[in-house]
Amino acid sequence: MSLGQKILVTGAGGQLGMELREIASTECEWLFTDIEELDICSEVAVREFVKSHHVGVIINCAAYTNVDRAEEEQETAKRVNSDAVAILAKIAKEYDAKLIHISTDYIFGGEVHNTPIEEDAEPSPLGVYGDTKLMGEMAIVESGCRYVILRTAWLYSTHGRNFVKTIMKLISEREQIRVVNDQIGSPTYARDLALIIRDICSECIAVEGIYNYTNEGEVSWYDFAVAIAQICGSKCEVLPCTTAEYGAKAPRPAYSVLDKEKIKRVLRCDIPQWRVSLEECMKQMVQL
């Protein structure tokens, strides 16, 4: 991307979008929008925006992210995660803009994995959320636009709603909590992901294709919650339970750790360990 080019960020009121706002570089003009300014489901509005602002890069942080509710609101999830992504890809192609799109480890789960999943593994979503996110990915690939799809997982931030904040609240209110210990993944501090996206936008890096990005390491939700409680110095007892005992509405992958060798090789980046980033994020939360 050339100096002064304009970068449109959609869904910029969410966790990742808010992190991007905080680290946006000054060499480019960033146009931050959420649904009130730009509804990505409106083809007319997206085309008008991209055309009138001469957008060179679209970073799509907008999504329907409520995994359990998606099981009931299938149409809405599809409209935002699949149909609107197809619109963005079509318009990116029309105006030769590059589309940077965020996808998820939840496109896996139907096939049993027990080692980190590479970018070219066969997707096998278990629920509506993963299904609709996969359809969004497919629409991008088929559109012929220039794209980067970044698959991430277990996103948290000082902004928005997320697991870290939920656990911090629960351990401050209760003496004992139970957390699922048979789902293994990699937490991701949205700030780390935002920094990688900024690198991808920089003019010296011309990557395209599908890339995995999460923090380093793998944990269960239970391990993750124990770490949060330890960092808080909480006396609340964190106990393990099974997915079946917890009984969430949407099915989730038992193991969805994403392999990051490709992004580390291509971008020559060091990825922080999940615990280091968790401590950093929680430090930021205390300062807010």
Ligand X SMILES: NC(=O)c1ccc[n+]([C@@H]2O[C@H](COP(=O)([O-])OP(=O)(O)OC[C@H]3O[C@@H](n4cnc5c(N)ncnc54)[C@H](OP(=O)(O)O)[C@@H]3O)[C@@H](O)[C@H]2O)c1
Q: Is 183 in the site for ligand X (CB under 6 A)?
A: no
CA 152 from chain centre, in angstroms, equals: 5
Among 5, 6, 35, 118, interactor with ligand X by CB under 6 A: 35
Q: Is 104 in the site for ligand X (CB under 6 A)?
A: yes
CA distance 186 to 48: 38
255 is catalytic: no
Residue 284: CB minimum distance to ligand X, A: 16
CA distance 12 to 157: 13
Residue 7's SS3 state is strand
CA distance 125 to 52: 37
H/E run at residue 31: strand 29-32
Residues 133-162 that bind ligand X (CB under 6 A): 133, 152-155, 160
Pairing of strands 184-185, 219-220: antiparallel
User: Annotated catalytic residue: which of 64, 129, 156, 189?
Assistant: 129
Residues 6+ away with beta carbon under 8 Å from 247: none
Residue 17: CB minimum distance to ligand X, A: 6
Residue 122: CB minimum distance to ligand X, A: 19
Quickly count helices (H) and strands (E) in the chain.
11, 12
Q: Is 62 in the site for ligand X (CB under 6 A)?
A: yes
Residue 38: CB minimum distance to ligand X, A: 6
Residues 63-92 that bind ligand X (CB under 6 A): 63, 65, 80, 84
Cβ-based nearer residue to ligand X, 10 or 277: 10
- Whether residue 9 contacts residue 61, with contact meaning beta carbons closer than 8 Å, is answered with yes
Among 57, 59, 61, 258, interactor with ligand X by CB under 6 A: 61
Cβ-based nearer residue to ligand X, 36 or 175: 36
- Whether residue 1 contacts residue 98, with contact meaning beta carbons closer than 8 Å, is answered with yes
Which parts of this chain interact with ligand X (CB under 6 A)?
10-11, 13-16, 34-35, 39-41, 61-63, 65, 80, 84, 102, 104, 133, 152-155, 160
